[in-house]
Amino acid sequence: MTTFKEIRGTAIQSVSSDPSNPEEGQIWYNSSSGTLKGYKTVNAWSAGGNLNTARNSPAGAGTQTAGLAFAGGIGTPPFNTDATESYNGSAWTAGGNMGTARGELGGCGTQTAALAFGGSPPSVSGVTTTEEYDGSAWTAGGSLTTGRDQLGSAGTQTAGLAIGGQISNTTPSNATEAYNGTAWTSGGNLNTPRYQLSYTRSGTQTATLVAGGTATVPAVPGSTAATEAYNGTSWTTVNSLNTARTNFSGAGTQTAGIVMGGSSPPPSTSTVTELWNGTSWTTSSNMAAPHNFAASGGTQTAAFVAGGPGTATEEFTGIATQTITVS
């Protein structure tokens, strides 16, 4: 009979407590509980509570149990809203209205300390307007150096990033700007100028990730799979997405990111989810329905996506350890 050691080259360890940082595929025997355990990542999507207001192209912030969705387009043609909603992991409730109704904006931070910037109010493209949220009301912040919409975003209210985007409906941008809670300053430029990045949120001001988007005008068929990592000063090209896409949702960190949905290629909407481990992207379980131009937030193992279009919310959960009981 073939043994585990012959298959994997290692023996099954007997330990009194579970490893703190097991590897994918690792197996061990827990002598304290008398169980054989294996580590395997199992990812699944489930339905969450619906938004109160159906919307397209909102921004998002926060976590799966303390999330935020704000602004976006409503109706046909899209009429932008200033509405904010807070999520508790089960239901959405109305919050304070923004000062400027808009869609296709950047957003980051937490449910009680969020940042909104750029976007397109009615009949205007690529504004510089920035607003800060304290959990109940929005107030004006420092203006972006360059007005743009459909831009990427990351970080916090006092250490945010605005990445790429579209300038005046004509030009993909490679610009990065950093926010210190008062003003925006220029950072390192992307290697690939791109827009339709509004929903990329993976990391901090000094360690973030951007992937996909559109590098051409007009958008069709310009979706890209290119991924870049930022160290606070410069961008480095890393391994690409498996599926090129635009207008997708994102969450997580530079070493544990998640992207979901979007258009791939435009105008076909997608349910595909991909996970980033700091080196490469792998395909995970699909969402129940396509989300395009949707709000998002959370972590790689506990993310949410809402709207884009409609009111539907979906929650992503990563379950790490499966246990086999030994008799």
> Based on the domain organization, do 251 and 266 belong to the same domain?
yes
Give the chain's mean pLDDT.
Answer: 89
Q: Which residue, among 50, 49, 106, 102, has the nearest Cα to 79 in the 3D structure?
A: 102
> Based on the domain organization, do 30 and 100 belong to the same domain?
no
> Based on the domain organization, do 114 and 21 belong to the same domain?
no
> Based on the domain organization, do 117 and 32 belong to the same domain?
no
Q: Are 254 and 229 in contact (CB under 8 A)?
A: yes
pLDDT value of residue 198: 56
pLDDT value of residue 13: 86
- CATH number for the domain that contains residue 108: 2.120.10.80
> Based on the domain organization, do 10 and 154 belong to the same domain?
no
Amino acid at site 281: W
pLDDT value of residue 10: 61
Residue 126, pLDDT > 60, answer yes
Average pLDDT of span 235-253: 93
Q: SS3 letters for 174-226?
A: CCEEEECCCCEEECCCCCCCCECCCCCCCEECCEEEEECCECCCCCCCCECCC
> Based on the domain organization, do 204 and 221 belong to the same domain?
yes
Confidence band, pLDDT 50/70/90 cuts, at residue 20:
confident
Beta-ladder partners of 195? 214
If one compares 44 and 218, the residue with the highest pLDDT of the two is 44
How far apart are the C-alpha atoms of 305 and 312, rounded to whole Å? Answer: 8
Sequence-separated (6 or more) residues with CB below 8 Å from residue 218: none
pLDDT value of residue 118: 96
pLDDT value of residue 158: 97
> Based on the domain organization, do 8 and 103 belong to the same domain?
no
CB count within 10 Å of CB 188 equals 16
pTM of the model: 0.86
Distances (CA, A) of 310 to 56, 89, 221: 7, 18, 25
> Based on the domain organization, do 200 and 301 belong to the same domain?
yes
pLDDT in tens, 159-214: 999 999 999 878 899 999 999 999 999 999 999 999 988 555 678 999 999 999 99
> Based on the domain organization, do 161 and 54 belong to the same domain?
yes
Q: Could you tell me where the DSSP H helices lie in the chain?
A: 4-8
pLDDT value of residue 327: 43
pLDDT value of residue 85: 98
CB count within 10 Å of CB 195 equals 30
Which range among 56-65, 131-140, 199-208, 226-235 shows the weakest confidence by mean pLDDT? 199-208
> Per the structure, how many domains does the chain have?
2
If one compares 71 and 320, the residue with the highest pLDDT of the two is 71
> Based on the domain organization, do 131 and 150 belong to the same domain?
yes
Sequence-separated (6 or more) residues with CB below 8 Å from residue 246: 196, 212, 213, 214, 219, 223, 262, 263, 264, 265, 266
310 — alpha (psi -120 to 50), left (phi > 0) or beta? left
If one compares 11 and 144, the residue with the highest pLDDT of the two is 144
How far apart are the C-alpha atoms of 244 and 264, rounded to whole Å? Answer: 6
Please tell me what DSSP assigns to residue 266: T
122 — alpha (psi -120 to 50), left (phi > 0) or beta? beta
pLDDT in tens, 79-93: 899 999 999 999 999
**Residue keyed to tokens 């896409």:** 245
pLDDT in tens, 245-278: 899 999 999 999 999 999 877 667 889 999 999 9
What's the gap between Cα 117 and its chain centre?
16
Range of the domain at 26: 4-42+318-325
> Based on the domain organization, do 73 and 152 belong to the same domain?
yes
> Based on the domain organization, do 142 and 26 belong to the same domain?
no
Average pLDDT of span 227-236: 96
